[in-house]
Amino acid sequence: MAWPDRTLALVLATRLIPLLAAPVTLYLVATRRSAVEQGFYFVLVNVQALASLVELGVGTIVVQFISHESPSLHWRADGALDGEPAALARALAVVRQGWQWYGRLGALLTLAIPLGAVAFAGAAARGGVSLLGAWTTVVLATALYVPLVPLLCTLEGAHGIVRVQAVRLVQVALAIGALWIGLLASGALQAVAMYAIVWLVVPAGWLLYGHRAFVTQALRAPRGAATLANVQWRTGGTWLVLWASPQLLVQVVMATTGAADAGRIGMSLAIATAPVTMAGAWLQSRYPRFAATLATSGRTALDTLVRQSAGWSLGVCALGGAVVMVFTAALHSHAPHLAARLLPTWAVTALSATGLGWLAIHAFTGYLRADREEPLLSVTVAGVAVTLVASALGARLGPEAATFAYSLAVLAGALPIVALKFVAERARRVRRAEAISPRPE
């Protein structure tokens, strides 16, 4: 089914709450904080967004590895994973490898504490912004969250997606509440720090309370074959560059024309990508089924499932983009003092249009990961490199020109490059399957 079942309804709810809260959040930032502080606010938000990037992006490969084993797995009453011994051993080996991989990633992320403090010290001092404490808290909380990802993704892949999404719903609601309290009571940067702490504490507490036995299993699991590691770094690279492209647009503009223009870009991106966030639910809620469908029903069934999921996702995104265009135009007409913190309507609309391109790329990568492979890293890097070069060149003429160059590069550069590679890779998989199981004469 394409329309909400229980899983999709929960995923939609976890995305709908931030979207409904976003106008309040952006209003508080725009009216209670300076333009310079707004720029640093979005820098910190981008860092904290790494938590969602890793879980909903890189973590999908863990989900799909586990989904291949899920028909032979179940959960015991004490929260431990159980099932057919060989399938259970393979699943726990994936968890162990994932934990090692994500643990290293979390440790590496802590290096951003001194690096960021040095990189932004001058701009923060000139703008009168106190950055160090909030920066340290956000980076550290995000680094501690990363090792939880393989545990949560294993639960998703092994029949637990409804429970995980219910926890995420609580996580989102409490984190936004903490963000608003921080914006009203202290400052924008301190608010992001409070958000990051809540984002860490809620799932960590749930895992320790309801799945302590599974955490113990993961700690004691044997290493197993390095099946996950061979794919994980490529998946990580693919998602990192997909995430970095729009986020680095803010950094490019900050380096070229200053924090105030970076704040306008950041605010515009927050509005323009809202439809992408909502529409992505149709893909995210189906990721555990992609690999399981391929394993049990074959490629034709996978084609149908992905086509339906991607169709709904792109349709919802297009509709949301139209709403964003109308909303932005109304804001410029009736509230110019708020609209001054944004780009022009055409530029916000262009950013919304790029969301369709990114969603299509996510659908391509999600489809191919059902085979537990990640072949699109090189072409994704090439496509994103095109967008960043174009953005940097455009930024010399101002944030509007940077936005135009970025949008054009995504839709006319990155998307066609990845689409052509996807078509070739899918054809290769079909030929491989036919060679293994030739049709009867």
* Element containing residue 173 per DSSP (H, E): helix 161-185
In this structure, the chain runs to a length of 441
Average pLDDT over residues 254-276: 80
The C-alpha torsion from 159 through 162 and 165 to 171, rounded to 10°, is -110
**Bridge pairing between strands 73-75 and 81-83:** antiparallel
Are residues 331 and 342 in contact, defined by beta-carbon separation less than 8 angstroms? Answer: yes
Answer yes or no: are the C-beta atoms of 254 and 304 closer than 8 Å.
no
Name which of 67, 116, 150, 163 is nearest 371 in CA terms. Answer: 67
| Per-residue pLDDT, 40 | 78
The tokens of 159 are what?
């029949």
Which residue spans within 185-249 are E strands per DSSP? none
Whether 236 shows a pLDDT value over 70: the answer reads no
In the chain, % of residues over pLDDT 70: 88
Identify any residues that bridge with 83 across adjacent strands, giving them in sequence order.
Answer: 73
What's the DSSP call for residue 147? Answer: G
Task: Compute how many other C-beta atoms are within 10 angstroms of the C-beta atom of residue 102.
Answer: 25
Is pLDDT at 308 greater than 70 in this prediction? yes
Report the run of H or E that residue 32 belongs to, with start and end: helix 6-32
What pLDDT score was predicted for residue 440? 47
Question: Rounded distance, CA 43 to CA 83, Å?
Answer: 44
Express each pLDDT in 360-378 by its tens digit: 888 888 888 777 676 766 7
SS3 helix, strand, coil % of the chain, rounded to 5? 85, 0, 15
- Tens digit of each residue's pLDDT (9 = 90 or more) over 45-104: 878 877 776 776 556 777 777 877 777 888 888 888 888 888 888 888 888 877 777 888
The span from the CA of 404 to the CA of 265, in Å, is 12
Q: What is the pLDDT of residue 243?
A: 60
- Residue 196's alpha-carbon distances to 112, 113, 138, 180, 273, in angstroms, are 16, 15, 6, 13, 20
Please tell me whether residue 249 adopts helix, strand or coil conformation.
helix
Asked if residues 159 and 75 have their Cβ atoms less than 8 Å apart, the reply is yes
Residue for token pair 């998307």: 415
> With the CA atoms of 293, 416, 3 and 298 taken in that order, what torsion angle do they form, in degrees rounded to the nearest 10?
-10
Q: CA nearest 96: which of 151, 142, 161?
A: 151
pLDDT on residue 3: 46
Distance CA 99, CA 227 (A): 14
* pLDDT value, residue 204: 94
Q: Are 158 and 70 in contact (CB under 8 A)?
A: yes
Q: What is the pLDDT of residues 163-212, one digit of tens each?
A: 888 999 999 999 999 999 988 888 888 899 999 999 999 999 999 988 88
Torsions phi, psi for 82 (to 5 deg): -140, 170
Band (pLDDT 50/70/90 cuts) for residue 232 is low
Amino acid at 269: L
Among candidates 376, 373, 378, which has minimal Cα distance to 361?
376
- Residue 153 vs residues 94, 95, 405: alpha-carbon distances, Å: 11, 9, 36
Alpha carbon 12 to its chain centroid, in Å, reads: 15
Judge whether 66 and 94 are in contact, CB under 8 Å.
yes
- pLDDT at 153 (0 to 100): 85
Pair of tokens at residue 27? 């209003």
Amino acid (1-letter code) at residue 366? G
